[in-house]
Amino acid sequence: MSYFDDLAERLRTQGVPSDRVETTLADLAAHLEESGGADPEAEFGPVEDFARELAPSGGQGPAVPDAHADAHVETWRWTADTYVDEELLNRFGGEGWEVERVDALGRFVSHRSLDRPQRWEYRRELVTRGREGLDERLAPDGWEACGNWIVYAWFKRPVAASLGPEAEISQPPGVPERWNFLSRKFYLLVAFLLVALALAGVTAALGDGDSGTGLGFAGGAVVGALVPLAALWGRQVWRSRR
């Protein structure tokens, strides 16, 4: 049994609807293809652990109580690009959402107390050259690491450290209905990259004197590259507008 077949069976056993299982597996396969990873277990970890991580609160839709956590805590997973993530983290932190970590798909795994929700604030740091000493440098100001994704690290701290009891939220707003917060700038960047790739392919084809080899090869390469990218982009647009 393959990794994804085993994962699908485990998710269904844990009560995840079949349509959500299929959507989750499609997202995982797309992520694996984009990252160039050949081994799902190396990318996502042991299948039994990953299945527990994804269910029951790992999919789309509003937050629900985590079956493996305190009954008085609700959980929510959501994603955003780097154009808006820090702003949204602080907005949702002000509504009581505390980020536990960033999962294998780059989603912020958050929870909020149902009894006494507290405000949180966040910051993002670039860690392309490593994070040696970064945690220690930020710790005196109360910042605690809460997630990593590729070249970024996120830190959180309770607003109570500066406001005291006023940081507690008496009537928190409802759970956001959306989970995908990709910005317009992100989609414009994707569109720009697609156009640049197409232009580069056309230029290479026209510059090749042998239309039977250069044009055909370059054209095929461009089409082959654009089709999956356009499909992924279109799916993200459609899902974000649902």
- Dist CA 49 CA 194 (whole Å): 36
Q: What is the pLDDT of residue 165?
A: 73
CA distances from 142 to 31, 62, 122, 138 (A): 34, 30, 11, 7
- Dist CA 51 CA 20 (whole Å): 13
Same domain flag for 92 and 158: yes
Same domain flag for 158 and 202: no
Which has more pLDDT, 75 or 23? 75
Mean pLDDT, rounded, for 206-217: 55
Same domain flag for 68 and 122: yes
Domains identified in the chain, total number: 3
Q: What is the DSSP letter of 215?
A: I
Same domain flag for 49 and 69: no
Q: From 181, 207, 227, give the residue that closes a domain.
A: 181
Same domain flag for 78 and 149: yes
Same domain flag for 64 and 41: no
Helix (H) or strand (E) holding 80: strand 73-80
Same domain flag for 167 and 64: yes
Confidence of residue 211 (pLDDT cuts 50, 70, 90): very low
CA dihedral 7, 80, 151, 37 (to 10 degrees): 30
Mean pLDDT, rounded, for 53-72: 49
Q: What is the pLDDT of residues 123-136, one digit of tens each?
A: 999 987 677 789 99
- State which amino acid sits at residue 7: L
Confidence of residue 169 (pLDDT cuts 50, 70, 90): very high
Same domain flag for 158 and 188: no
Between helices 216-240 and 184-206, what is the axis angle to 10°?
170
Overall pTM > 0.75: no
Q: What is the pLDDT of residue 220?
A: 53
Q: What is the pLDDT of residue 231?
A: 53
Q: What is the pLDDT of residue 38?
A: 67
Domain enclosing residue 176, as ranges? 59-181
Same domain flag for 90 and 140: yes
Which has more pLDDT, 90 or 45? 90
Same domain flag for 81 and 168: yes
Helix (H) or strand (E) holding 113: strand 108-113
Q: What is the pLDDT of residues 34-53, one digit of tens each?
A: 666 668 887 778 888 778 77
The sign of the dihedral angle between the CA atoms of 233, 107, 177, 49 is positive
- pLDDT of 91 strictly over 70: yes
Q: What is the DSSP letter of 27?
A: H
